[in-house]
Amino acid sequence: MGLDREKKSHHHVVISAVDGGGLSCDVDVYIELSDVNDNAPQFVDLPQKFSLLESAPVNTLLLRITADDPDLGKQTQAVKSWCAFM
């Protein structure tokens, strides 16, 4: 079984110990997975094409592009929205 935080971030395991006389004990172990940068960002709703009137004024918003990354922490800090102006 591979561990993947994006699929399941928490795990619960019960560990048991039994001695030769039949006495036993159990302990609950709760595991929270930390993340590694194992996913590339992906563009969200990236337009295939767009139109612009030739009479559009300077500084007209051409398009807004957003990328998402399912990883946590520093690796997602660079994922933002970008705007393109003419």
Please write the tens of the pLDDT for every residue from 50-81: 788 888 888 888 777 888 777 776 666 655 66
- What are residue 63's DSSP bridge partners? 84
pTM metric for this prediction:
0.51
State the Cα–Cα distance between residues 84 and 65, nearest whole angstrom: 8
In tens, the pLDDT along 24-58 reads: 999 999 998 887 777 778 888 777 787 888 888 88
Contact status, residue 8 vs residue 18, Cβ threshold 8 Å: no
Domain boundaries, the chain: 10-85
C-alpha separations of 34 from 1, 71, 72 in Å: 17, 10, 8
